[in-house]
Chains A and B, each alone.
Chain A
Amino acid sequence: MIFIVIPARDEEGRIGRVVRGLFERGWNKTVVVDDGSADRTAAEAEAAGAIVLRHPFNRGQGAALQTGDEYALAQGAEAVVHFDGDGQFNPDDVAPALAKLKEKNLDAVLGSRFLDGRSRVPFFKKYFLLPLARFVNRLLTGVRLTDAHNGFRVLSRRALEKIKITQDGMAHNSEIVEKLKRAGLAFAEFPVEVTYSEYGQGAAGGLKILRDWFFGKIIG
């Protein structure tokens, strides 16, 4: 059983389309974790057929992913796909990413925008922010990746059992990569398409990630 986990906050305008896109491709175990939305995100997701879990108040994307992962594990998931709720990912990428996980006997497949030419990444982001983010991530995790903070990933059951996301905010991305490496799990990158409807995280977001990472390390 494959579960798609989508963290979502205030995405009432887009979440329905995202969930339907996944259902149309046969992914009917789609879990939307409504992270304290003030709008109709939960209702829209439910109407589209998703299983909806609701955080009573906002806890961040990392926290929402962990909630979805725990649910999927309890339901007996073989693997979980992390997917964004804002419609920036292509649902056609799910099946080949899962196929790669199985074929290569991997525990994780991490999406990357830079392995094919489909994603049109904004100039400043592509040539300034992302190289910087990649470099910092490499320092933090010791893993060299072609992309940084891409929310598309596939985790095997084994990986889900070993990786508990404690970074509630956006630092969960580096945390997952680091924990994959620490646990000695096999992973690889996979080309995914990201369509930009909005900019995403800027430089300030990057600084917050560093701060979260720092305190996360202290608390352990």
Chain B
Amino acid sequence: MLLVFQIILVGFFALAALKAAFRFRAGELTLFGFIGWLFFWAAAAFIVLWPDSTFYLAKQLGVGRGADAVVYASIAALFFLVFRLSIKVERLKRETTKLARREALDGKNERL
């Protein structure tokens, strides 16, 4: 029997996957990135629908319980996302600097 939270979560994951598809079509996401996200949301839905399946994964990893394995994997995924986000922020900062520089030099480059 499906629990309410399972239905809600799977619905949410489906929406997230759909969003990834839109972003891919709009060219904001590479094919590789799109497949990665699709795989991620599918795996999340699978785990929510069949929570016991994580027990197998946990045993492979030598972690006691399935829930623990999910928590560890989530933390690793979060680290990765934060890392990627930081790189994006750094890139944005560089673009901002170029903008500030252009404004500072605008009209100043006629020879003295």
Which residues does A use to contact B, with CB under 8 Å? 29, 33, 36, 51, 53-57, 59-60, 63, 66-67, 70-71, 74-76, 166, 168, 215-216, 218-219
Task: Give the contacting residue for B86; candidates A63, A67, A215; CB below 8 A.
Answer: A215
How many chain B residues touch A (Cβ–Cβ < 8 Å)?
17
Q: Is the CB of A71 within 8 A of B109?
A: yes
Complex Cα–Cα for A53 and B93 (A): 20
- Least distance between A59 CB and chain B CB atoms (Å): 5
Interface string of B65-97 (1 = CB under 8 A from A): 000000000000000000000110011011011
B94 x A70 contact (CB < 8 A): no
Query: Which residue of chain A is the closest to B89 with respect to CB atoms?
Result: A215
CB distance B104 to A215 under 8 Å? no
- Docked-complex contact B104 and A33, CB < 8 angstroms: yes
In the assembled complex, how far is the CB of residue A184 from the closest CB belonging to chain B, in whole angstroms? Answer: 26
Q: Assess whether B111 is in contact with A218, with CB atoms less than 8 Å apart.
A: no
CA distance A33 to B94 in the complex (A): 17
**Known contacts A55-B101, A71-B105; 16 further A-B pairs (Cβ under 8 A):** A36-B100, A51-B112, A55-B103, A56-B103, A56-B104, A57-B100, A59-B97, A59-B100, A60-B97, A63-B97, A66-B101, A71-B109, A75-B111, A75-B112, A168-B93, A219-B90
